[in-house]
Amino acid sequence: MAKGGSDHNLAAERGIATGDTPLCLAGHLPHKGGDQMDATSRTSLALPGEQSGQVVGDETAGRKAVGLEAVSIETSERVGPGESAPLAHLPPCGGDARQGRGGYSMAQPGPFSPADAVRRQSRAPVEAAYLPDRREARIAGLLALPAIVLLFLFILLPTLAVIVLGFTDFELGYGSFRFVGFENYVELLGDRTFRRSLWNTAVYTAIVTPVSIVLSLSIAMLIEAETKGRAFFRTVYFLPVASLLVAMATVWQFLFHPTIGPINTFLALFGIAGPNWLGASGTVLYGLSIIGIWQSVGFNMVLFLAGLTAIPRELYAAAEVDGAKSWFDRFRLVTWPMLGPTTLFVTTISIINSVKVFETVKTLTEGGPNKASEVLLFTIYQEGFVYLRVGYASAMTVVFLAILVVLMFLQYRVLDRKVHYA
């Protein structure tokens, strides 16, 4: 039959009613009497690619009548223009118009019609693209589940319990309690001990944080400039971090002794009368601050060493070419700006550790003399575990957490704008 023949003539020539013409999964018209399409006709069908209905062979008109493309069902891939469909991918084309060998009626399609194949082919790339993401999301969720459970049980749930207990009069040893609203917070405003501990904590933080940052940065720069013995000095300065602070407090108690302590003995060589570091109200907070600085310098030094190592050496060479000859100019123009992220992190950690001071106060002074060294955490400990006023201590803890959150927020709002991220 001629290539340009009409759809009706093609159907009439084969003896098939145009309305109920069955199609195979590849979109072919069957031959008269239910015979399968011969190999010559099947191999002569060139698949059209993107232009639906344009094929080469004697099935052109029938293909255009139903608007189908030849699809490789097993591979679910579209065959390009000019290529022939593989014989292995083309199912038999037998069967009469309504009921035959492998044929299905267009009015009553079989379990897998050509339209289903086209829909599945268009949907397959989208589903294949989302499948790896979904699998990775499920795996990531399973891996993170233990950490999420522990975070909820040991951080979020206790924090929620503290907030709730802050509105009660709960005391250890009593079986019942009642909600008192904001009475605990009102009592805090008039509590002289709480205000004194808050002031002592602020003074301690104001001394320890900046001094420890300056000393640790200076030591880190000296160690970084020295090529010999670098590992030795790193270890020596990091020892205070690895040591047990409660045990080292006994050593500091001997060092600060007013009569036989090495510190006062050294001051006596220059005619200076050493104070009673831990026994006088005017000096006890400064003595504790010295211990806090000694404890923080080693850890901050390691962080600054990591930051100094990450600075490219080419920047120093370029600064020297531009006229930065002295070490101070190189520090001001290169080192300090490039250490911005490290300095921000060190400042944050130092403030948190300073506000959380407790071990040295509990071991050396017990908040004395005359509450001169009583800090916020020690006051919370006293109210909750000595006086057993858990509700009141919980209110103090909420205030303590609020102070930390506000400090961190202000710090990042102010300092993060001045930080240079390489």
Closest CA to 200 of 358, 363, 381: 358
- Give the 3-state secondary structure of the chain: CCCCCCHHHHHHHHCCCCCCCCCCCCCCCCCHHHCCCCHHHHHCCECCCCCCCCCECCCHHHHHHHCCCCCECCCCECCCCCCECCHHHCCCCCCCCCCCCCCCCCCCCCCCCHHHHHHHHHHHHHHHHHHHHHHHHHHHHHHHHHHHHHHHHHHHHHHHHHHHHCCECCCCCCCCCCECCCHHHHHHHCCHHHHHHHHHHHHHHHHHHHHHHHHHHHHHHHHHHCCCCHHHHHHHHHHHHHCCHHHHHHHHHHHCCCCCCHHHHHHHCCCCCCCCCCCCCCCHHHHHHHHHHHHHHHHHHHHHHHHHHCCCHHHHHHHHHCCCCCHHHHHHHHHHHHCHHHHHHHHHHHHHHHHCCCHHHHHHHCCCCCCCCCCHHHHHHHHHHHCCCHHHHHHHHHHHHHHHHHHHHHHHHHHHHHCCCC
Phi, psi angle pair for 84, to nearest 5°: -100, 145
**Predicted pLDDT at 182:** 93
Q: In whole angstroms, what is the distance from residue 45 CA to residue 28 CA?
A: 9
Give CA–CA dist 25/68, Å, rounded: 10
Whether cis (ω within 30° of 0) applies to the bond prior to 369 is: yes
Mean pLDDT of all residues belonging to the chain: 76
pLDDT of res. 240: 83
**Contacts of 71-75 spanning 24+ positions with Cβ under 8 A:** 71/25, 71/26, 71/27, 71/114, 71/117, 71/118, 71/121, 73/25, 73/26, 73/112, 73/117
* CB contact at 8 A, 221 and 311: no
Query: Distance between CA 354 and CA 358 in Å, rounded?
Result: 9
Beta partners for 168? 179
Residue 215 structure tokens: 């000393």
CATH code for residues 183-418: 1.10.3720.10
Q: What pLDDT is stored for residue 411 in this prediction?
A: 78
Rounded Cα–Cα distance for residues 123 and 120 (Å):
5
Q: pLDDT tens digits for 97-152? A: 444 444 444 444 445 556 555 565 555 555 565 667 888 888 999 999 999 999 99
CA–CA gap between residue 89 and residue 74 (Å, rounded): 6
pLDDT of residue 208: 96
Query: Domains of the chain: which residue ranges?
Result: 1-150, 183-418
- For residue 291, the tally of other CB atoms under 10 A from its CB is 27
Stretches where the chain sits below pLDDT 70 are 1-131, 416-422
pLDDT score recorded for residue 106: 44
Burial state string for 355-366 with b = 16 or more CB within 10 A and e = fewer than 16:
bebebbbbbbbe
Handedness of CA 116, 122, 125, 129 (dihedral sign): negative
CA distance 106 to 118: 15
Token pair in block for residue 175? 């079986």
Residue carrying the six token digits 């590849």:
26
